[in-house]
Amino acid sequence: MAFLLSLYILLLCTSLNAAAAAATTCFVPSKTGDITLHHINSNCYRFSSGITPFDNILQLSTTVDPFRLSLLASSVPIASGFHILNSAIYLLRANFGSPAQPLLLGLDPSADASFLTLSNFSSSSSFQALPCSFTLCPLFKPLPCSSPSSLCFYNQSYGGDSSFSAVLAQDSLVLAADTIPTFAFGAVTYFDAGPSFPKQGILGLGRGPASVVSQTASVYHSIFSYCLPGYNSYYFSGSLRLGPLHQPPRIRTTPLLLNPHRPSLYYVNLTSVSVGRVRVAVPPASFAFDPQSGAGTVVDAGTVITRFVAPAYAAIRDEFRKQVNASAGYESLGAFDTCYSTAGDGVTAAPPTVTLHLDGLDIALPAENAMIHSSARPLACLALAVAPTNVNAVVNVIASYQQQNHRVMIDIPGSRVGFARENCS
């Protein structure tokens, strides 16, 4: 009995300690003013998810990614600012309204719009709903306006499983130590939420006129960087750094391209891919940047696994398989088609390094960014996948798994994107 009681106390203390540790470890701003990012499945958010990182990635890469890619690659020109890409994998804490209330917001680096949900917007004295005559209203694809002075409303679907109604509004938003007094966003008045819906809202870090980046241009000069946590880290914590201060001064960069067909997205010029020492022969059209069709390569932390258009992916995968030469062959698992046994006499040598060659910058992917290991059995998979073939345009995506433990810097006025290894977690 005494044993059971002390065991009970021990367990209780352990869980209290875990909760206390979480409370002091989660969403704490860094000394340099960085905003802490946590993965949605970190111990700071979905405490009880109990899902292994491997299963989590398998799930996200088969459910979230194809939906997101179909939007990223949509052949409809996305000129509007209200461009919700329907997935938020990383969360940050911001303060909103007067008096300030903390909100946990999803970060969408490729979307322009932000939307926020509060139980009662009238409880913020600085909240103001905006009329149809407001400049950003037409960008938000509003419901029909009866007059310029009527409020700007819209209905949106989200993530394939949710929908919501919102009114265009402005209020103060505090990010790190900075207050944005008249931040414009969609104030959610009603939602029908499925599991993918981030209940407190989304911040869009795209490059269109309604995004956080554009609305804070006078403060942060349209420069930011982020460091995404490793998928195996307990608290899954990384950082978002807004503005030119404290950005790595000597980070290696590649030109940032603007594609008028999809002006919200951060395009880069991927020229080739190497596997080991072999530069893979890829049909030239696979990586070509095309302002007319929107084809090219985007950097997007809202997609989980890096995707290449079918001919490029096939060439890269075939070269990888050839070099690994797994004795028991390859099998598919979820989005991955190059998984092989690492047991017994199977492959023991390190897999060949995959290097992305961007214009002026090579990214040699460390094993943690190139490979994924099953949590259930000795199985390693090449952590790259083919872009969905059911979409019209050809878009390659450099996604979050390949960016983990790297600092990625977006410098819009300098037209450059930087990449550097950094331990984020």
Ligand X SMILES: *[C@@H]1O[C@H](CO)[C@@H](O)[C@H](O)[C@H]1NC(C)=O
Active site (catalytic) residues: 108, 300
E strand segments, 141-265: 153-158, 162-175, 178-192, 201-204, 223-227, 237-242, 252-255
Cβ 324 to ligand X, closest distance in Å? Answer: 9
Cβ 155 to ligand X, closest distance in Å? Answer: 4
Cβ 359 to ligand X, closest distance in Å? Answer: 4
Out of 271, 272, 274, 405, name the contact with ligand X by CB under 6 A.
Answer: 271
Nearer to ligand X, 22 or 193 (CB): 193
Q: Restricting to residues 296-355, name those near ligand X by CB under 6 A.
A: 325, 327
Cβ 190 to ligand X, closest distance in Å? Answer: 5
Q: Restricting to residues 220-249, name those near ligand X by CB under 6 A.
A: none
Site string for ligand X, 187-226 (x = CB under 6 A): ---x------------------------------------
Q: Which stretch binds ligand X (CB under 6 A): 120-128, 243-251, 379-387, 398-406?
A: 120-128
Please name the helix (run of DSSP H) or strand (run of DSSP E) that holds residue 273, with its range, or none.
Answer: strand 270-275
Out of 24, 120, 348, 389, name the contact with ligand X by CB under 6 A.
Answer: 120
DSSP secondary-structure letter at 140? G
Say how far apart CA 110 and CA 294 lie, in whole Å: 14
Cβ 89 to ligand X, closest distance in Å? Answer: 27
Cβ 189 to ligand X, closest distance in Å? Answer: 8
Say how far apart CA 369 and CA 389 lie, in whole Å: 24
Nearer to ligand X, 194 or 248 (CB): 194
Out of 239, 253, 269, 400, name the contact with ligand X by CB under 6 A.
Answer: 269
**What's the order of all strands across the beta sheet hosting 336-341?**
331-333, 336-341, 379-382, 371-373
Q: Restricting to residues 131-150, name those near ligand X by CB under 6 A.
A: 143
**What token pair was written down for 5?**
């009681």
Residue 155 in contact with ligand X, rule: CB under 6 A: yes
- Closest to 303 (Cα-Cα) out of 18, 28, 86: 86
**What token pair was written down for 238?**
């990384």
Residue 80 in contact with ligand X, rule: CB under 6 A: no
Residue 123 in contact with ligand X, rule: CB under 6 A: yes
Out of 95, 98, 101, 165, name the contact with ligand X by CB under 6 A.
Answer: 165
- Closest to 238 (Cα-Cα) out of 405, 375, 5: 405
Cβ 279 to ligand X, closest distance in Å? Answer: 13
Nearer to ligand X, 39 or 261 (CB): 261
Out of 359, 392, 415, 423, name the contact with ligand X by CB under 6 A.
Answer: 359
Nearer to ligand X, 137 or 304 (CB): 137
Question: Site for ligand X (CB under 6 A): how many residues?
Answer: 14
Nearer to ligand X, 24 or 119 (CB): 119
Which residues are within 8 A (CB) of 330 and not within 5 positions of it... i.e. 6 or more apart?
321, 337, 338, 339, 340
Say how far apart CA 257 and CA 250 lie, in whole Å: 20
Residue 157 in contact with ligand X, rule: CB under 6 A: no
| Total residues found in the chain within this entry | 425
Nearer to ligand X, 131 or 255 (CB): 255
Which residues are within 8 A (CB) of 304 and not within 5 positions of it... i.e. 6 or more apart?
57, 60, 61, 64, 65, 89, 399, 400, 401
Nearer to ligand X, 257 or 372 (CB): 257
Nearer to ligand X, 8 or 190 (CB): 190
Distances (CA, A) of 12 to 6, 16, 18: 10, 6, 10
**How would you label 318-338 residue by residue, b for 16+ Cβ within 10 Å and e otherwise?**
ebbbeebebeeebeeebbbbb
Cβ 156 to ligand X, closest distance in Å? Answer: 9
**In 3-state terms, what secondary structure has residue 295?**
strand
DSSP, residue by residue, 340-403: EE-STTS--SPPPPEEEEETTEEEEE-HHHHEEE-SSSSEEEES-EEPPSSSSS-EEEE-HHHH
Contacts with ligand X, residue ranges (CB under 6 A): 120, 122-123, 143, 155, 165, 190, 257, 269, 271, 289, 325, 327, 359
